[in-house]
Structure 1
Amino acid sequence: MTFTLFYDGSCPLCVAEMNQLRALNHAENLKFEDILAPDFKALFPDIDPTEASNILHGKLSDGTLLLGLDVTHKAWSLVGKKRWIGLLRLPVIRWFADKAYLFFARNRYKISFLFTGRSKCEPCQNGVCAIADTKPSDDER
């Protein structure tokens, strides 16, 4: 099974999470696609970059589209980490968690600045941050 994550390559927190997931993607179940890549629309005509900027998008190999925290939960489940995210998908908690996620998505550049001191990534290639090749720390294995 392949799960494709469509992320904002200009968001420092988004890129940091993709870096963590990529480092743990030993089974290569995850694919990472930056919605700001110059050829994104040509490669993924069925994914609207504006919508994917408003809410995280992910696509299963069978074409099923997941959104928001469902994407986050699926991605971390596939690498076998952060099982607690499953609690955010429980019926009563889900509504509140989804509202909190949408708040984060709308304000991710301001929140990134609070946590990283940067509201947007420095330009890498074609103005888009790349996912760094990183290895997981011992406590992430």
Structure 2
Amino acid sequence: MQLTIFYDSACPLCSKEMAQLKSYDRFNSIVLQDLNAEDINERFPTLDTDYANTILHGWLHSGRSSDIMEDSGEMLLGLDVTAKAWQMVGKHPWIQLLRLPGIKCVADKAYLKFASNRYRISYLLTGQKRCDGDSCSL
């Protein structure tokens, strides 16, 4: 299985996590797609990029096609993407706890708060609000 993650490359924390994730991806089973790429809508015409910019999207699929419509799979959202990605690379097993009943609901609400404030939080943690040029390139 392959996981295609649609992420916001303008977000310093998002880019940092994706770079770390890929550094552990020994089997190259995770493909990163930048939502800010000029051709993202051409390459993934069925992806709602506006919605994907509000909550992390991950497409779990066979890897036989780069078209979401041709290669049926499962679209994961938010922390489900994060948990699946880290599980696939065999790191940060504690993240799976965020998917347990009772914790999942609270964690998902906290994630949505984070996602809608990711630039402010990035600034507080990194001193950088948005990536510009190659400042956060993978």
TM-score (norm 2): 0.90
Q: SS of the residue aligned with 1:54?
A: coil
Unaligned runs of 5+ in 1: 132-141
Structure with the higher fraction of residues in helix conformation:
1
Query: Distance between the aligned counterparts of 2:106 and 2:88, measured in 1?
Result: 24
Is 1:6 the counterpart of 2:16? The answer is no
Further displaced range: 28-37 or 57-66: 57-66
Q: 1:83 aligned to 2:93? A: yes
Gaps of 5+ in 2: 62-71
Instruction: State how far apart, in whole Å, the 1-side matches of 2:132 and 2:114 are.
Output: 21
- The equivalent residue for 1:138 is none
1:48 is displaced (CA, Å) by: 1.1
- The verdict on how the C-alpha distance between 1:129 and 1:109 changes in structure 2, with shifts beyond 3 A counting, is same
AA aligned to 1:19 is: A
* Cα deviation 1:3-54 (Å, max 9, x = unaligned): 0000000000000000001111111110000000000000011111110110
Q: Is 1:63 aligned with 2:88?
A: no
User: Contact 2:6/2:35 (CA < 8 Å) preserved in 1?
Assistant: yes
Q: What is the deviation of 1:129?
A: 4.7
Whether the 8 Å CA contact 2:16–2:136 is kept in 1: the answer is no
Structure 2 equivalent of residue 111 of structure 1: 121
Quick one: distance in 1 between partners of 2:9 and 2:31?
A: 14
RMSD between aligned residues: 1.2
SS in 2 for 1:91: coil
Query: Structure 1: how far apart are the matches of 2:124 and 2:29?
Result: 32
3-state DSSP class of the match of 1:36?
A: coil
1:4 maps to amino acid: T
Contact 2:12/2:131, CA 8 A, preserved across alignment: yes
How far apart are the structure 2 equivalents of 1:116 and 1:130? 15
Q: Is 2:20 aligned against 1:20?
A: yes
In structure 2, what is the Cα distance between the partners aligned to 1:111 and 1:129? 16
Query: Which portions of structure 1, spanning 4 or more consecutive aligned residues, are displaced by more than 3 angstroms?
Result: none
How many residues align structurally? 128
TM-score normalised to the size of structure 1? 0.88
Equivalent residue for 2:137?
130
Equivalent position amino acid for 2:30 in 1 = L
